Structure 1
Amino acid sequence: MEDPKKTKIYLGDGLGDFCPSLKLGDGDYVMPRKDVPVWDLICKNRSLIKAQICEWSNGEEFKTVLLHLISRIISVEGNNTSANIDQLYSVDCKQETMSLPAATGPETFPQSLHVLH
């Protein structure tokens, strides 16, 4: 049985969020925060973004837009609502951790570089 395409909603407000936004497809969504550098970059290069752009300004607007997108995805992507809800909870996350040395005193870390102003 073929895996159904997963719809992605990419949230971001940093400059580093521009490149991942370029990898999203036609059925995906990108949610940049307005009036931050990534928003300006997306606006200047809108034709490079295949995903639908859904901007937000504050926490309340963020919540409203995100819940609207989730509702739209559930209602549009097929008749099997329980399958869509299961897909919704299937989260692919990448987390990187850095192990710290056992001793955390200043002698454990490399010396910092002094930069002249």
Structure 2
Amino acid sequence: MNLRISLAAAAAALCLVAVGPVLAQTPDDALPAGPGRDVVVRVCTTCHDATQFAFARHTADEWDSEVTKMQGAGAEMTAEEQVAITAYLAKYLPKPALDAPSDAKPPPGR
């Protein structure tokens, strides 16, 4: 019984140590550096924590739709800022291409 409690306590402590750096991230840490990041942080993090969208992946058209939707929901941005935000998100948080060529070769006999 004591061993089980000790193992549970050790596992809980390990989880806290592993999660600490993630919780300590600022919005700037969650987003890749690049042109437009400052606009994204200023406009988008007014309502959202950057970690809410920093791991999202969309096509340029999907990001444009999201930004337009947020503008309709009250996000305040100029037309130039909307272009900058969409360009940043499309460049740094793109949806991976599913049909990208692969270097993997099929197994022999297939």
Instruction: Give the TM-score taking structure 2 as reference length.
Output: 0.27
Q: Considering fraction of residues, name the structure with more strand.
A: 1
Instruction: Give the TM-score taking structure 1 as reference length.
Output: 0.26
